[in-house]
Structure 1
Amino acid sequence: MSNRFFIGQRVKATNKMDFHMENPCYGTVIGKCSGAILVDWDKKNTGMHTGASSVSQDQRKNPEQDSCFYINDEEIEPLTGMEKIVDALGLYEGQWFDIYDEYDNVMENGPFMFDGEDFVDCNDDVLAPDEYEALMTGHIEILSDREMQLKEEICVLQGQIEEKENELARIRKGA
């Protein structure tokens, strides 16, 4: 196994992967065989892997668990610091969630999500320090598809209301 990977390490798929998995492609290194790394993926793959030439097709899939596959080390990479935080929270990129403060109130600029680089609110603004603190010390609630749809509609309407308020303020200043 490559020196950069160890058993128990959380990893993600690179664009060199020979099969397609639903995003995000996170998994845990659980072993090796003939130089190939065995990864237990969080989500099942949607196609057969063809890499790791030293491992036969029969060995590629762990019969115990259909989410385990042998792969080459260039097909995975360690998680970044921010990805470790997202992973530890049980989130993935693009997934909306609410943040609750220490008093169990929903933070007002939500819903929130990880956009691939940072946590943002429904207006695509990076979280404020108090929101980050609540994210790390409070709790979150992942939204269902319907809740997410309704929250997105509310965000759009709030944005439109803000635009109208700004327009009204400009008119009043000009009058």
Structure 2
Amino acid sequence: MRLRRALSCMTAVAPALLLGGCGLWPFGKPPSPAEPEQPRQAPRAEPRAEPRPLSERTRRYLASRGHEVIEERPLNVRADCSFRDELGYAGRLDLEVRDADVRRFAARVDVPRRGSCRFDLADFRQATSLPTITLTGAQSRCTVRMWEQGSKVTVAFSDCQAQCDGGTFDYLWPILVEAPSGRCF
């Protein structure tokens, strides 16, 4: 009986305490009317430090644990390929990147029963080149990123609804390219 009474009392008091806490000033005392509240400034981004090369000792340590050190180098890849999976997801990619400079880029991805997405280099400008190549849309928020992972190059898309039919972008996957052969999937 006591337990039941204590629980019912807690269920009545807990919401009041929670709601009462919503009215508290989040950062201590509120500013007085004489001193206006200062707007918060976003933290400044520190300039990116140049990467230091890894020592031979560090490389041996990482290798002994099965880790591969990926050197930061300009991306070079050429692909003129198409792909299709067993469910009908298909695409075509024409890509040439020489010394981290995108020379050709055109892609089309068809998603079954959804529509397609189309990308063309003329609609983008190259924003970064190392370690990841970033293409930003000239007229949209679309961003295309390319990076190397071992012998494969990944071409990934974000915020590219304008390049796709309806809700097709929700079903768009990155395109993988085998750099040595130029095959994509």
TM-score, reference length from structure 1: 0.20
- Structure 1 or 2: more strand by fraction: 2
TM-score, reference length from structure 2: 0.19
For the pair shown, which has the larger CA radius of gyration, 1 or 2? 2
